[in-house]
Amino acid sequence: MRPKTPVILARRFIVEFPKFAEQGHHPDPAYVGWFTRMLELTAPIGVVSAFGDWEPSVERMLTEFCEDGVVVRLPPV
């Protein structure tokens, strides 16, 4: 099986979920602000996730490799 690059997967997503993909074509200042803040909080090598092999948090993102006390709130909806 040929490895799937991010570009190949993105194109497939657009084909299979066109209505959902279309939502990404509109500005979302609240999400941009959240994403920018998340990158600042987790710099330089932090990782965030919404779920994993442990009980998910309902009020914040899970963080790994961040400084102690880093809290990344959930993104806006």
| CA 24 – CA 10 distance, rounded (Å) | 12
pTM over 0.75: no
On the CB side of 43, CA atoms within 13 Å amount to 6
| CA 76 – CA 34 distance, rounded (Å) | 7
DSSP single-letter state for residue 25: G
Q: Would the pLDDT of 72 be above 70?
A: yes
- pLDDT at position 11, please? 95
Alpha helices in the chain (DSSP H): 6-16, 18-22, 29-42
Tokens 């998910």 belong to: 56
Q: Would the pLDDT of 51 be above 80?
A: no
Question: pLDDT tens across 40-50, in order?
Answer: 999 999 998 88
* Beta-bridge partners for 64: 47
Question: pLDDT tens across 23-39, in order?
Answer: 888 889 999 999 999 99
